[in-house]
Structure 1
């Protein structure tokens, strides 16, 4: 087999691997908990007509966590942003707000709330804490009991 044929064969084998993983955002894990499982839906919010971030709720290590991920497309077209995430219980009680520790965070994990026995949802927003200001773009996941 010629060198060109070997390169072509290797490239053909690599394409399905790249296609299968393109666009998939893999969340890290929250501080102090190495294993979490997503519960409920994923919510998104937009800012200026562009999808900015995804918000998810996770459970693990006897806690609930909110997770926010700022989309690559938004990061590519904006130079500055602030975001926060929290777990809500009883549809409005803020449990564990965490805002980006650095300027322009890519992801934010809430600190973890001991709320596994309560109905909860994750909330994320563009802005600063400890809660969203009127007009801040906000997303909430579905409520999980």
Structure 2
């Protein structure tokens, strides 16, 4: 039984490893596409989450996806997703539920400005963040 569970866990981890595809569509805008490059939140040298920015339907979204292997080893984390403009203001900030692995920001009306997505992973009082690349 233990061996079977380990095989299943390894298969699931492999599906969510870097490069593995999973659905990424902002709520309410099926035509949105990723803009800029993906950033990675690292905690203690380990990748905890991916941070991406999407644009479409006249809006921008920040997106944070916590990797399965990191989430399996950490409880009670929170994820924050937002879009940040060059004046360092956050737009569409959303704080996910406890242990929520996928968080979209609210749609931000910032397509006419330079932006980047901000992703934050918090464990208790500690937090780690990353920004996707800046897009104008």
Q: TM-score, normalized by length of structure 2?
A: 0.79
Structure 2 unpaired stretches of 5+? 1-10
Shift of 1:61: 1.2
Contact between 1:86 and 1:94, CA under 8 Å: does it hold in 2?
yes
Contact 2:116–2:135 (8 Å) recurs in 1: yes
The alignment yields a C-alpha RMSD, in angstroms, of: 2.2
Q: Which residue of 2 aligns with 1:125?
A: 120
Shift of 1:91: 4.9
Q: In the TM superposition, what is the alpha-carbon distance from 1:52 to its structure 2 partner?
A: 0.6
Distance 2:121 2:67 in 1: 12
Equivalent residue number for residue 106 of structure 1: 101
Per-residue deviation, 1:115 = 0.8
Cα distance in structure 2, aligned partners of 1:91 and 1:47: 27
Quick check: which has more Rg, 1 or 2? 1
CA–CA distance in structure 2, aligned partners of residues 142 and 84 of structure 1: 17
- Aligned counterparts of 2:65 and 2:35: Cα–Cα separation in 1: 16
1:86 aligns with 2:82: yes
Is 1:142 matched up with 2:133? yes
Deviation (angstroms), 1:79: 2.0
Q: In the alignment, does 2:47 pair up with 1:51?
A: yes
Give per-residue Cα distances to partners, 1:80-126, cap 9 Å, x unaligned.
210101000115111110111x3201100000111111000000101
TM-score for the superposition, normalised by structure 1:
0.75
The number of equivalent residue pairs is 120
